[in-house]
Structure 1
Amino acid sequence: MSLRNTKFVYTDLDDTIITSKKDAKFLYKGQHYKDLFDVPPEVVQAFQKLIEQGINTGIATGRDYRKVYPLLTQTNMFNLPTITDDGACVYINNKCVKASYIDKSVIDRLIVLAKKFKNISYSINTPFGVYVSKNKSWWTLQDEFFNEKYHNEMFKLRYVDLSKVSNFYNDEITAITISTRPIALKPLNQREIDFFIDLNNYGNVTVTKYKQDVVIRPNESKASGIFWVKNNFNNKITKDNTVCFGDNHNDVDLFKWSNLSVAVNNAKDVYKTFAKYQADNCENLGVAKFINQFLLK
């Protein structure tokens, strides 16, 4: 299928159009954080030119909406609904119009574990804000930092202690990040961490281990997010006219679906094999180069 058929573009953010190889820019309570919205001007211009040419563009990311919204307000790069939380949520005009939630059985089990292991730290994403534990970790402090620097009344930060509750409010949770090595507390050992990895046996969820963190999400994907956009927003989206840029395991479903999928060269080889095309590295402005060479007239 020819790239000349392109009518829509969806892109991942981290290490696809925003490199993680830059040094940290912010210091907050002893923790260093990078600028999550540091999109190179060449990339911004390329996406703006796509829109001027009549090609619609959007974001499909694993980030929650709070970590996307400032980018939407700072640039005119995107005009399609925003897919967040690896497909669990879709936003239009700052409103969540689609959300999938973690099964209540998984949340109930997590509450049991929070009572058993009081030395964990966690961030709980909902479509309307984030709840964090009072036990600190790199992740919870990042949430506090975001709440201060990029305050958004619609997506507030709140504190919760799961060890002191029997249920979680309305159970509308789109993602949970558990840090098993919180700041100033004893880290969990592997046997204890396995209790949290085992949460995938309590409901239809995806559980991913990242070093000392365990991330739990509904069993959705970025592709299912695009299907929602197609069915509810623009039925002209097809696998033959939609370019999808990505770099990681959570982009593979997009690579498989789109006949115009593009992996940046910094992606692992195992992920690149699923993409139909390849672009230069993220830090070398690969997506911008690809757009300028193949998509713009």
Structure 2
Amino acid sequence: MEYKLIVSDMDGTLLGDNHKITQENKIALSKALEKGVKIVPASGRIYNSAREHFDFLDINTPLIACNGAIIKETKTNKLIYKNSIPNEICLKIIDVFERNKVYYQLYSENTMICKNLSKEDQKRTAERLKNFFNDDINIHFGDDLKDEIKKHEILKIIAIDDHDIDKLNKVKEELKDIEDIETTSSWFNNVEIMHKGVNKGEALKALLQYLKIDREEVIAFGDNYNDIDMLQFAGMGVVMGNADDAVKEKGNYVTSTNEESGVAKALYKFLEI
């Protein structure tokens, strides 16, 4: 098969554990580009945060962000697709989180909205997020996040709990009572919520219609549960060696880990670059 498009998750896949793209992956992607293959990032991250990692390629490419809720071009910022969460559904989701006293964040296109904390905690949170993301990300703290959804178009909501997984599982059960949402996880400690019909697989489907490329001509890379729809829709779904066994079962091929530049190793195999 002659592949025309590479679509890759970022954290845990294209990026190493330091949240930077590995040098070997950079080289492989550059060689694929020289061969005429299109490259598309597909991330749970906010658009600007995902875009920064592809500056080294100096190309204008579609970018799938917020788990498929938005697709924009990296240089022109041209909007290709967007599916946000209606305000009334956001309110129902927030009610579940507030009732269970779980920490959560709202994602708009380029803003991360967090619950107001003490000044000291707020400073620490902002510094941690800036280290993980980049300076283009606007981090906003609010006293009442229900008010914030009136000011922002919400693409994704994420709840995080590092210590009480039972509480997180309870939240997941309660979210099942809310209609017209999609839920997934990008790590063991979170639950991510988007509008109904939003996932990386559906975003990839919309993008391929836009680019006029067949699904069989796509090779996709991922490592977590929010990548499964994309891995299964693509002609070749490559799962990272660091993925859970349940995710590995959903792909066509298992490569090395993200720390071992597993994306590059699979590209050498399937693209013969």
Which TM-score applies when normalising by structure 1?
0.76
Between Structure 1 and Structure 2, which shows a larger proportion of helix residues? Answer: 2
The 1-side partners of 2:209 and 2:149 are apart by 31
Hey, what's the Cα distance between the residues in 1 that align with 2:98 and 2:225? 32
Identity %: 19
Give the Cα separation in 1 of the matches to 2:266 and 2:253. 10
Of 205, 209, 234 in structure 1, the residue corresponding to residue 181 of structure 2 is 205
Match of 1:30 in 2: none
> In structure 2, what is the Cα distance between the partners aligned to 1:230 and 1:140?
42
Aligned to 1:121: 103
The correspondence of residues 1-297 of structure 1 with structure 2, limited to 5 A, is: 2=1, 5-20=2-17, 35-36=18-19, 38-73=20-55, 75-76=56-57, 79-93=60-74, 95=77, 97=79, 98-112=81-95, 120-135=102-117, 144-147=127-130, 150-152=134-136, 155-162=137-144, 165=146, 168-170=149-151, 172-179=153-160, 194=170, 197-208=173-184, 213-219=190-196, 220-232=198-210, 234-235=211-212, 237-297=213-273
Unaligned runs of 5+ in 2: none
- Taking the aligned partners of 1:293 and 1:103, their CA distance within structure 2 comes to 43
> Match for residue 184 of structure 1?
none
Instruction: Figure out how many residues of one structure are paired with residues of the other and give that number.
Output: 267
User: 1:241 deviation in Å?
Assistant: 0.9
Alignment RMSD, CA only? 3.3
Question: Take 1:264 and 1:47, find their aligned partners in 2: how far apart are those partners?
Answer: 16
Q: Distance in 1 between matches of 2:8 and 2:240?
A: 11
Whole-Å separation in 2 of the counterparts to 1:247 and 1:115: 30
Q: Deviations over 1:13-69 (max 9, x none)?
A: 12222233xxxxxxxxxxxxxx32x22211101101111111111111222224312
Give the AA of the match of 1:287. V
TM-score by length of 2: 0.81
**Deviates most, 129-138 or 264-273:** 129-138
CA contact (8 A) 1:264 1:286 kept: yes
Deviations 1:133-181 (A, max 9, x none): 11379999555544488222xx422222226x56721562111123457
CA separation of 1:116 and 1:284: change in aligned 2, threshold 3 A: closer
Matched to 1:71, the amino acid is: H
Displacement of 1:77 = 7.4
Note closer, same or farther for the CA distance 1:246–1:8 as it changes in structure 2 (3 Å cut): same
Q: How far has the Cα of 1:88 moved from its partner?
A: 1.0
For the residue of structure 2 that corresponds to 1:158, the secondary structure is strand
Structure with max Cα Rg: 1
Letter in 2 for 1:156: N
